[in-house]
Amino acid sequence: AADDAKSRLRDYLESHDFDEERLGRVQDRLDLLYRLQKKYGQGEETVLAYVADAREQYAELQDLDRRLEAARRELKQVTAVLQEAAAALTRVRRKQAAALCGAVTVHMRDLAMPEGRFVIECTEKEDFGPDGKDTLRFLFSANRGEPLQPLAQVASGGELSRLALALKTVLIHTTGVRTMVFDEIDTGVGGVTAQKMAEKLALIAQENQVLCITHLPQIAAFADHQIRIRKEAEGRRTVTHLQVLTPEERVEEIMRMTTGAHVSKSAETNARELLAEAEAFKRKARAAARKRKG
């Protein structure tokens, strides 16, 4: 029986060709699959998914030059559009800046700065920004012969106050804001300049609401409604009181603002004259405004 089995096995082996080279290839393939699964995940599906992803990335890399060139062309087109928009913005800015400076200069002359100059300098930057390609600087010169310099470096307190008033006067019709608040706009101002400033505020107040905190009697006299502000200590707190003044109380307050505690008949006369002159100016201004509209 053993011999018979041995004979049959020999016959079977002889009837089949044994390809040693093919066996080596199969073993190499199995070894490769084992290493791939060990590195990229268990299971044939996981390995094949990785292969598909790798092929996709390879295709993208092969197409990188074309895509990069397309991106460069798109960037060039977008930059050209941006350049055109920035140039248009610069033209508008320079035109409006010139108009604004001209209007502000007129008001500066009304505020006792006849030789004052206000210029908005517009220079081009190297790179674009969210606000275009311009750098803007406010330049100022208060007197003839003085060079234009950055506003913050050369203007005094009084000059800044007057320039702020001139700017707000011009811009109030463009911002849509019909209320202006001036907190001690009279800093560094007095005499004739204070009178001019008061007149300017009164003209603005014809069509807009003006709230002005002031220590100058010339400006307070032009108010349509005058409110006295005083602070008092009440217990551990300081309380601010506001009082709307009657016509006679206004006379007293103007006297106090003018002479302090030294009340006299001449001080009262001066206060009444200030109030009367202010009222006369406002009546004349209102009449002129009605005439222009009519």
Two tokens at 142? Answer: 């208060």
User: So where are the chain's domains?
Assistant: 68-155, 177-294
Q: Write phi, then psi, for 140 (nearest 5 degrees).
A: -145, 145
Could you give the CA distance from residue 178 to residue 174 in angstroms, rounded to a whole number?
Answer: 10
Tens-binned pLDDT, residue by residue, of the chain (294 aa): 677 777 777 776 666 666 677 778 888 888 877 777 777 777 777 777 878 888 888 877 777 888 889 999 999 999 999 999 999 999 999 999 999 999 999 988 888 888 999 999 999 888 888 888 999 999 999 888 899 999 888 877 778 888 888 888 888 777 777 888 888 777 777 888 888 889 989 988 888 899 998 989 999 999 999 999 999 998 889 999 999 999 999 999 999 998 887 778 999 999 999 999 999 999 999 998 888 877
Give the whole-angstrom CA distance, residue 202 versus residue 164.
16
Are 137 and 121 within 8 A, CB to CB? Answer: yes
Q: Can you give the pTM of this predicted structure? A: 0.62
> Token pair of 106, please?
């007129």
The CATH fold assigned to 177-294 is: Rossmann fold (3.40.50)
If we measure between CA atoms, which residue out of 111, 294, 284 comes closest to residue 206? 284
